A and B are shown apart, each in its own frame.
Chain A
Amino acid sequence: MKKSIFALLVAALAFAAIVAAGTSGASTKSEASASTALVKCGKTRTIGFMGPITGPAANIGVEQSSWAKYFVSKYNKTHKKSKIKLQTEDTQLGNPTGTAEALKGAQALAGNANVLALVGPAGSNEIVGVTKTLKDAGLGWVSGSSTRTTLTTDGTRTGYMFRTVPPDAIQGTTAASYMIKTLKVKRVYIIDDQETYSTGLADTVQSRLKAAGVSVTRDGVSQQQSDFSALIAKIPRDTQLVYIPWQLTPKGVAFGQQMKQAGKGSIRLMGADGLFDDTFAAVGSNVYDTNFPVNPKSAIIKAFKKSHGGKGMYFGAPTYAATQVVAAAYDKACKNGTATRAEVRTALKNTKIPAKSSVIGVALRFNRNGDLSTAHQFGIYKSNGSVFNPVG
């Protein structure tokens, strides 16, 4: 009996090894065929869109979706021979099930032969989760918000991933410089939410502050946590600023409200672009944030605000740029009426959109890593009690 069980185990392990070896080869073959499969472009072209339309981060997803749809409506009005439509996949960023929804969305887009590239996903952790699926399908993607620095520098997504926002290495540096030079803080408490986006930013800011002689305490919370009272109790009352580079606005809002409950509402609070939302600004007038440097006076933004009840939804503006980049790549690749995903990726790499046509105020061109070669700073914003206004 024992011998037969042992033999069965060995056979099962051997079978698993053979399957693994076989599928790794198959993966490379299927990636090659998906990349080069020729698709008729047709009059209506489908661009994939991945964003958190529902879930804890729905506030950013809705903004991104609004800006993407705004670009699509403008494009379709000005183009007679070709139209574009979005295939939207809801990633539910911040859901307790992790990046499972993002993976499902990526698989759905990969399975649609008419999708030649996509806009999104929003979260850095989502991109880590869907990279293999998208690469295997030969799909390139342009994100309007994932800022973790290593996404484009670790070499695993070169030629596939592009983004229309500067990376966290710039955001973290901008935030730290503002704290040191303008706010002149000496005691800072940093709390990350344990996701890749947050820990990267927290690490950058912490190292810069320590190098400048600022006293820094570091802590962490889970994204599923709602009770911050014990953590807030640990924050010394002489702390001058609490930095929370979190991904989920509702959590940032809850934290700010619990700080007030604990009698620590006078301590400055600073978030990162993940918390750039009016609800976070409403926590109080001592709340700061960093966000992409969009120009509120730009004609595109003014027109968007006019058609959206006066709301700028600035967080979503780089997604307009991302959709613009993908649409331009489709136009280039589809010149002869057919295109492959590989051709669209090449077109993405060679994007050249001038600054005057770009909502983010700089020309849209990418370096070999997929980062904008033209954007070198983040904006600093301060709340007036209800909305964020640029201060630096």
Chain B
Amino acid sequence: MNWSLFFDLTVSGLTLGSLYALIALGYSMVYGILKLLNFAHGDVYMVGAFLGWFALHGLGGPLNPDFAGAAVLFLMFIAAMLGCGVLGVAIERFAYRPLRNAPRIAPLISALGVSIFLQNSALLIFGASFRDYDTFDLIGVKTYNVGTNLFFSVPQLLTVLSAIGLMAALTVFVARSRLGKAMRSTSFDREAASMMGIDVDRVISATFFIGSALAGAAGVMFGLVFGQIYHFMGFIAGLKGFTAAVLGGIGSIPGAMIGGLIVGLAESYATGYLPQGSTFQNLYVFALLILVILIRPSGLFGRAVIQKA
């Protein structure tokens, strides 16, 4: 057994999985409350990556920043998360709220339309060329050798720790805060929650804000680890985030986190161990989705629900 390869693949998988988990959380939270698959979510992640890039260059750029590296990174995250949060609220307000009482297919189509709108708006505004985060000088291309040929880098460590921190904060928020309680009530029964005096519109807006902010953070992490961002990067990432949400149990927050990590690790191990793994990594990931749906349709942490006819 090549332990060095296994460790490298695990680190790579956890890094990727952290990004997918953050994206999947947005899908799960929105589905839990509205029973809506927000297919524009991957493109919110793309917008977050661009907001982080603009914040970086507004603060002097990677080679000559106006502040210390840590401060610049913090501000990049804040800019991306706030910007994407506001974008998420705007999308909900204008593209989904008017269709709340329409047949389920209508908001789904609207979500696809928003996705295409965001991709092409990014193409128009940012152009088709790749943008480079180029933050290796800012945060250093330090690679830590933790054993005999076991390496991980600063951007990877930052990504995994940040994702864990954000997921932990979300879990505590949903479990302990008033708004979190309201979100859980609304996801359980929207009508009853409304009758109990909960401002359902406000709760839904907050859900979109939080989910989109997490996607924005994931976008910045992507730029830090992999360097390049472009207008179409949200498409496949969004699909994989959706896969993670379904795998974990759509509507379940812990399920989204675990699902994201599983998808990231599966992609990494498939690349490393399966034949033509790098070429067909997407094939293996989506085959996993099909397998899970066939064996356990409600996902790993989801519950089978009996619906009245």
| Contact present for B5 and A233 (CB under 8 Å) | yes
Q: Is there contact, CB below 8 Å, between B278 and A219? A: yes
Q: Are A220 and B276 in contact (CB under 8 A)?
A: yes
The segment from B32-40, B167-175, B265-273, B291-299 found at the interface with A is B265-273
A residues near B155, Cβ cutoff 8 Å: 261
Decide if B226 touches A233 in the complex (CB within 8 Å).
Answer: no
- Give Cα distance in the complex from A262 to B282, angstroms: 22
Chain A residues with CB under 8 A of B127: 54
- On chain A, the residues within 8 Å of B236 by CB distance are 224
Minimum Cβ distance to chain A for residue B10 (Å): 9
B290 at the interface (CB under 8 A from A): no
Q: Does B15 contact A (CB under 8 A)?
A: yes
> Interface of chain B, helix or strand or loop or mixed?
helix
Q: Complex Cα distance A92/B128, Å?
A: 7
Contact A263 B13, beta carbon cutoff 8 Å: no
Decide: B227 and A257 in contact? CB cutoff 8 A.
yes
Contact call B9/A254, Cβ cutoff below 8 A: no
Return the chain B residue nearest A251 by Cβ.
B228
Q: Contacts A56-B130, A231-B278: A226 and B149 contacting too (C-beta < 8 A)?
A: no
From B8, B226, B235, B271, give the contact of A262 (CB < 8 A): B8
- In B277-307, which residues have CB < 8 Å from any A CB? 277-279, 281-282
Q: How many residues of B contact A (CB 8 A)?
A: 44
Q: Provide a sorted-by-A list of 6 A–B residue pairs whose CB atoms are within 8 angstroms.
A: A54-B127, A219-B278, A222-B279, A230-B272, A233-B12, A257-B227
Contact mask B110-137 → A, CB, 8 Å, 1/0?
A: 0000000000000000011110100010
B279 touches A221 (CB 8 A): yes
Q: Which of A191, A194, A225, A263 contacts B145 (CB 8 A)?
A: A263
Report if B230 contacts A (CB, 8 A): yes
> Bound complex: CA of A180 vs CA of B230, how far in Å?
38
How far does the alpha carbon of A92 sit from the alpha carbon of B130 in the complex, in Å? 11
A385 located at the interface, meaning its Cβ lies under 8 Å from any Cβ of chain B in the complex:
no
Q: Closest 5 interchain pairs by CB?
A: A233-B8, A230-B271, A229-B12, A261-B153, A220-B279
Interface residues of A in 66-125 (CB under 8 A from B): 92, 95-96
Q: Which of B9, B129, B279 contacts A219 (CB 8 A)?
A: B279
Contacts of A221 in B (CB 8 A): 278-279
Judging by beta carbons under 8 Å apart, are B228 and A250 in contact? yes
Beta-carbon nearest neighbor of A250 in chain B: B130
**B233 at the binding interface (Cβ < 8 Å):** yes
Answer whether residue A237 sits at the interface, using C-beta atoms and an 8 A cutoff. yes
Given known contacts A219-B278, A230-B9, A261-B153, A253 and B267 CB-to-CB distance under 8 angstroms: no
Bound-complex Cα distance A226 to B131 (A): 12
B228-242 vs A, CB cutoff 8 Å, 1 = contact: the mask equals 101011011000000
Q: Is the CB of A253 within 8 A of B132?
A: yes
* A263 and B129 in contact, given A229-B12, A231-B278, A233-B12 (Cβ under 8 angstroms): no
Judged by a CB distance under 8 angstroms, whether B54 is at the interface is no
